[in-house]
Structures are given as C-alpha cells and as structure tokens.
A = this chain, B = another copy of it.
Amino acid sequence: MRHADANPDVDQLTLTDVLAALSDPLRVGLVRLMADGAEYTFGEFAVPVAKSTLSHHLKVLNAAGLTWRRDEGTRCYLRLRRDDLDTRFPHLLDTVLAAADRDDVGSHVGNHAGHHVTTP
C-alpha cells in the first residue's frame, strides 16, 4: 500500500524520466528480468545490493512508469508496463531491451529459483 505516488498515469510519463531510469545497469537488469511479462516480487530479484537499495531502484522504475505494482498483503507484485510504454513511446522498450540483450547489460541481476516464472 505504502507509496501513494505509485503507478503514475500514462500521460504523466516523460521520455527523459524513462531514459534516466534506464541509464543504470542494475535497473536495466531488473527490466530485462521482467521482460518475460511475469510478475515478480522483491525477493525474486537476485541483486548484489542491500534490500533498501533494491527498494530504491524499484521505486525509480515505478515512478518512471516502467513497472506496474500491485500490493497484496505484505508483498508487492511488479510487472513491466509494456503496453503502456509502447503506447506512450512506441518501440522504445523493445529497442532498449534488444540492445541490452546484445550487450548483456545488467547481467549481475539474476532470478532467484523456487519462485513463479510462469506468465499469469
């Protein structure tokens, strides 16, 4: 629930905010993981930073409109806002993801096993 300014409207998104959010390798790694369309929770991201830092990065991604978050009980589910991004900035996400894949940007972000990987 926390975080009243979560999930900004599509028309509030700005290009420079999106690009700034994607200018950090760790955040690109997070986005690449979420690119499968599945929902992820905090603990499913295997990142080499403290959990407060991860919380910060996920907040940046959400504020820029890159993720959709849904809180359920004590945990929140995150998912890429691919359709909204595509509407607002056509092809941008695909193009960045393709380049990130080619260069393996943010490969230090992994997926913790034992959690759901299926697209709901």
Contact = CB atoms under 8 A, between A and B. Distances in A.
A15 B91 CA distance: 16
Interface of A: 14-17, 19-20, 22-25, 28, 89-92, 95-96, 98-100, 103, 105
A87 to B, nearest CB: 11
Nearest to A92: B95
Question: For the complex formed by this chain, how many copies does it contain in all?
Answer: 2
Given A89-B99, A91-B91, 19 more contacts: A14-B105, A15-B96, A15-B99, A15-B100, A16-B24, A16-B25, A16-B28, A17-B23, A19-B22, A19-B23, A19-B96, A20-B20, A23-B23, A90-B95, A90-B99, A91-B95, A92-B95, A92-B96, A92-B99
